[in-house]
Structure 1
Amino acid sequence: MVHSGLLVCSFFIKDRYGRDNSKAIELNNSITINGIETTEYYENVWEILRSFLTNHSMPKDDENSMKLFSVNPKSIHEEDDKEYHAITFVVNSGSYGIEGNITNRNTKSVMYHRTRDDADVKQFHATLFIPKDAGGVKVQKGILLFQTIGTYGIKTITTKQMKEFFASKDLTFETRSVSVAIFLKKIFEDGNLNKITLIKNAISPDPADSMLISSGREEKVYIKPRLKESWIKKLIAFIDGNKDDTIFEINESVYEDISITFNLSGRTRTVRLKDLDRFSLTEDIPDSIYNNGLTNPDKLTRFMINKAIEYKEKMIFRVSE
């Protein structure tokens, strides 16, 4: 059975040489790029995103990752709502570099010999979603959704191409978790948490070791823990930006970091909380939309936009916050 899912992440854009993420561009405002010899003006970020999509209609050979990448120009569709703007499109991508035989499973006969230059190109749906400014909030973050098919996906190759394209315009394109708070709540509420590890530097009690900064690392592991609601709220508040220096102080012991091990989309993964912001959520696509390789494109597009709207209600769209 081949299953399909949605990988959800957020994105923001800033000046290429800006060091501070809080100086991210307001996506619904006009953008002026001052080059050495020319100045480029865009009404909003959608002009740049449309240019990226149309400029990648022909397959691009990424030799480092050994993949082909292109955007089907006929698949590009825009939806402009009073609360958001979205573009849906189809990415054609696949890997090459491995020889093999394409064999019919029924007749058992070899239909084609695949060479190292033959790429197994598949079609993946994707969506770019940006909320409209509202309530005095100037939006700096948008949402990206990528379809996954089995173990295959397009986030890495697509975001790499987008980074290169924006860099050519002296801009930096960055992706992050759609919301760390949403991510953690999903892990805790779905019962997918396997292990919590508290990490701190171990100081030797032997005075003879006083010349050492530390004598190793101490880890305290809790298997299948049941966490108090008050501690979960404190943890989420810390990760989501409301810093509290005592978050890693547990039972009068101060810890440098905490790692969590959890199940996500059928795989067991471990991540340290300091790195959690770079994770992406994966949502299952219902079998009524994608069933063992058969899909309804219109229903899938609607599902992706509705999922983005769902996350929109829970996100903070200012990078500085």
Structure 2
Amino acid sequence: MRDTYNPKSCDDGNSCTVDRCLPTKGCQHTPMDCQHNCLDKCNQSVCRNGTCVMERVNCDDNNPATCDSCDKLLGCRHTSCDDANMCTNDLCINNINGTCTHLPISCDDSKPATCDTCDKKLGCRHTSCDDANMCTIDMCTNNLNGTCSHTPINCDDNNKFTIDSCSLDTGLCVYYPNETAIEIDRMTNNADPTQSYANGQGLSDGFISLLQGFEVQAVNYNGEVLNKSGLNFTILITDASSSNITLPVTMTYLSNGTYSFTYVPLQLGNFVILITLDGVPIKNSTYSINIEGADKSTSAAYGLEQNQMVTTFQQTNFTIVWRNKIGAVLAIGQDNFNEQLLKT
């Protein structure tokens, strides 16, 4: 009985190869031979799906700085666009006619403290404007000629009562009290109790129930009139004998640092006026005054005629008008008048 042998399949599934089996080598896969026109190096015959077709040769070298073209006799040609200038970006914009562009590159490093320039041989150069001073703001003002500016840091806090400066160690602003300015302000814009003064009729003797008044002038520590409202003047008018009686006082700001004070005495006797500013007595305070009542030489009775006849049990009315010694009518007398009917 004879042995039987099945031929080995060498099909690689590629229609562009010739598959065969050699007894000594086994399966062989030989690419299909597509005849090529040696006079045209820009086109080539290749196998596609078992058929030879002509295709254009791809000359792209993936270098944007070369113009890639094809010569039938020489094949692919790569023309450089390099202009030997490190400050340009060289590109081919037309492979067919070999047109190149040379665009300036940007050397901006986004740092305001460097001047950015470009050297044709070295490329981008970045010159520092740092002056090693922590209290200046360093900037490049002209890239072309490398001009720098060094602007001092502004530490002005718009406060005249501080001395403003910059620390060379940290570059931070520091502020110290301006003692001179503080003292000038205190002397100029604050009232000095010991130089502020009062004057007016209401600081001398007066009469019960009649309006009394005086003025207080605010003076600063330089001895100048202080035109300022809202100062803390306090007026205390008390009974000199007991201090149990105080008189209410009305204050009005007039102008130019002048304050008006008025009061109405409702009691007879001696009183003391104490004027203070922020709790400190002003110049010449205190003041002693005497409040007087009616004067018998100016007071009078009305409604009774001399030698007027009256009968028993007849009601007779009359009026007594109290006046002080200057003849002013008093609303409150607090004086003892004795009325007697004498038989003649």
With normalisation by structure 2, the TM-score equals 0.21
Q: Specify which structure has the bigger relative contact order, considering alpha-carbon pairs within 8 angstroms and separated by 6 or more residues.
A: 1
Structure in which a larger fraction of residues adopt helix: 1
